[in-house]
């Protein structure tokens, strides 16, 4: 078969050259469109279900949240196994699917099941899906460099401005905020005053909730003019909360400030984020969406950061802590340089041993063509250009060179023998 293939190629050299040119052009296109990352994504095909039920012990979260979710999510199609983890105020469920399962099909199946079991969970515990990313999706970490600004203000800028802007970048699954204080109004109730006014904590909570609301009225006409009525009832300051009436005692209103103190403070924290031992910092983690091109995502995020920086307060700027693009570029450039060096060395060695430039030209043409076809296969199997895949290509260059040297040397020897016989 090989002899027939060689004979066919020799008789149809134009066709062989045309096919080679097409494959080389296709390979160049594949090189430009192939996804680039530093390391291969070998993580499992999983969907994460996160449930927050703050203030409860891990055992209570395990019994009332984690266990019901795990038992009901085990019957999903194409599920390998379900893992559950409980901690203080939080529950994590990891549903591992078969490797061939489409990740978004899996997420839709999990979401359907969550809609049917939501009533089994205690009040206030609402399960949500985690980001559609993987364990190696953390492509960029940043902090806000804001000298003179307190941690609460920095976290507010991160949560209400920076985060929403960066989440709009193509390929970004989530921007997870960390550090600082999440601002909130805290009402600290005095139990002695509650007893004096014969009130309970649920009454105080209901009073605050009822007064932090807006409602719409109806439209009415007056003097041929239409008016739309609405109420503005959102609380905007601690003073407004203090003046909320909880009940009436002998025609006198009992306000929040009569039974409690109201102050602006931060939400309770289970940890802090320290940057290089220089103090606390506020920032975010950019999580790449499943199957995206890491290099493109990082590039687009940096472009968006430059745009977002124009709207930041004076003196506030981004400080990139971790950027995978540096590792990606260094890895790819190193492997590319190795491939070029191998091609040059192989061609020079063949030329020195055979002293025949046409034979060396065969090696020079064969190596880039083989590598181009390799990138076509990488795209066909959705494999990114990373350290592992490119190293495999670099190692295969030796096999390609060996094969080419044997074939070229054999052809050269036969041609030399035939030429010698003809001369005799």
CA distance 389 to 381: 12
Q: What confidence tier does 385 reach under pLDDT thresholds 50, 70, 90?
A: confident
| 335 or 388: which leads in pLDDT | 388
Q: What pLDDT does 64 receive?
A: 93
Contact, 330 vs 388, CB < 8 A? no
Q: Given a cut of 90, is residue 60 above it in pLDDT?
A: yes
Q: What is the arithmetic mean of pLDDT over 155-171?
A: 93
Contact, 144 vs 120, CB < 8 A? no
**C-beta atoms surrounding 288 within 10 Å:** 29
pLDDT in tens, 294-325: 889 999 999 999 999 999 998 899 999 999 88
CA distance 320 to 281: 12
Contact, 70 vs 418, CB < 8 A? no
Q: Given a cut of 70, is residue 194 above it in pLDDT?
A: yes
Both tokens assigned to 287: 């999580």
Reference 208, options 192, 184, 191, 230; nearest CA is 184
Contact, 288 vs 323, CB < 8 A? no
Q: What is the signed CA dihedral for 385, 386, 388, 394, rounded to 10 degrees?
A: 60
Contact, 111 vs 267, CB < 8 A? no
Q: What is the signed CA dihedral for 164, 165, 170, 171, rounded to 10 degrees?
A: -50
**Geometric angle at alpha carbon 75, from 69 and 77, rounded to 5°:** 125
Enter the DSSP assignment of 338: H
Q: What is the arithmetic mean of pLDDT over 16-42?
A: 86
Axis crossing angle, helix 324-354 with helix 387-423, rounded to the nearest 10: 10
Backbone angles phi, psi at 251, to 5 degrees: 65, 5
Can you give the pTM of this predicted structure? Answer: 0.78
Contact, 43 vs 134, CB < 8 A? yes
pLDDT in tens, 74-121: 888 999 999 999 999 899 999 999 988 999 999 999 999 998 886 788
Q: Given a cut of 90, is residue 203 above it in pLDDT?
A: yes
Q: What pLDDT does 244 receive?
A: 92
Q: What is the DSSP string of 278-329?
A: S-B--EEEEEEPTT--HHHHHHHHHHHHHHHHTTSPTT-EEEEEEEHHHHHH
- How many Å separate Cα 216 from the centre of its chain? 40
Contact, 254 vs 248, CB < 8 A? yes
Enter the DSSP assignment of 12: T
CA distance 181 to 155: 6
Q: What is the arithmetic mean of pLDDT over 330-358?
A: 75
**C-beta atoms surrounding 91 within 10 Å:** 27
Q: What pLDDT does 165 receive?
A: 94
Both tokens assigned to 289: 């969406």
Q: What pLDDT does 175 receive?
A: 93
């Amino acid at each position: 078969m090989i002899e027939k293939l060689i004979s066919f190629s020799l008789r149809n050299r134009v066709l062989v050259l045309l096919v080679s040119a097409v494959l080389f052009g296709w390979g160049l296109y594949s090189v430009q469109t192939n996804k680039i990352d530093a390391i291969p994504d070998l993580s499992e095909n999983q969907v994460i279900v996160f449930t927050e039920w703050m203030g409860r012990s891990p055992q209570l979260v395990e019994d009332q949240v984690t266990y019901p979710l795990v038992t009901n999510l085990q019957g999903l199609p194409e599920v390998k196994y379900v893992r559950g983890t409980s901690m203080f105020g939080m529950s994590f469920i990891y549903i591992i699917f078969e490797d061939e399962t489409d990740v978004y099909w899996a997420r839709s199946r999990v979401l359907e099941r969550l809609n049917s079991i939501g009533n089994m969970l205690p009040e206030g515990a609402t399960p949500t899906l985690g980001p559609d990313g993987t364990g190696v999706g953390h492509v960029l970490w940043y902090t806000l460099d804001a000298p003179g600004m307190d941690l609460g203000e920095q976290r507010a800028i991160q949560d209400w401005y920076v985060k929403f802007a960066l989440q709009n970048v193509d390929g970004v699954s989530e921007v997870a905020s960390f550090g600082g204080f999440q601002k909130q109004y805290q009402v600290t109730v005095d139990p002695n005053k509650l007893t004096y006014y014969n009130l309970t904590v649920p009454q105080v909570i209901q009073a605050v909730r009822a007064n932090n609301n807006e409602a719409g009225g109806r439209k009415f006409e007056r003097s041929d003019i239409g008016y739309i009525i609405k109420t503005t009832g959102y609380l905007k300051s601690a003073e407004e909360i203090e003046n909320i009436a909880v009940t009436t005692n002998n025609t006198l209103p009992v306000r929040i400030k009569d039974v409690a103190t109201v102050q602006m403070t931060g939400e309770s924290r289970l940890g802090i984020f320290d940057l290089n031992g220089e103090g606390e910092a506020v920032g975010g983690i950019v999580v790449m969406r499943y199957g995206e091109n890491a290099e493109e995502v990082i590039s687009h995020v940096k472009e968006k950061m430059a745009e977002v920086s124009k709207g930041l307060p004076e003196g506030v700027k981004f400080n990139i802590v971790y950027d995978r693009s540096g590792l990606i570029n260094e890895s790819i450039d190193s492997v590319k340089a190795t491939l070029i060096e191998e091609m040059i060395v192989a061609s020079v060695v063949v030329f020195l041993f055979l002293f025949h430039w046409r034979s060396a030209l065969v090696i020079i043409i064969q190596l880039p063509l083989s590598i181009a076809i390799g990138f076509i296969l990488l795209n066909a199997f959705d494999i990114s250009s990373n350290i592992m895949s490119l190293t495999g290509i670099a190692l295969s260059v030796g096999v390609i060179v060996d094969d080419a040297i044997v074939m070229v040397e054999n052809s050269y020897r036969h041609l030399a023998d035939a030429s010698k016989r003809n001369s005799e």
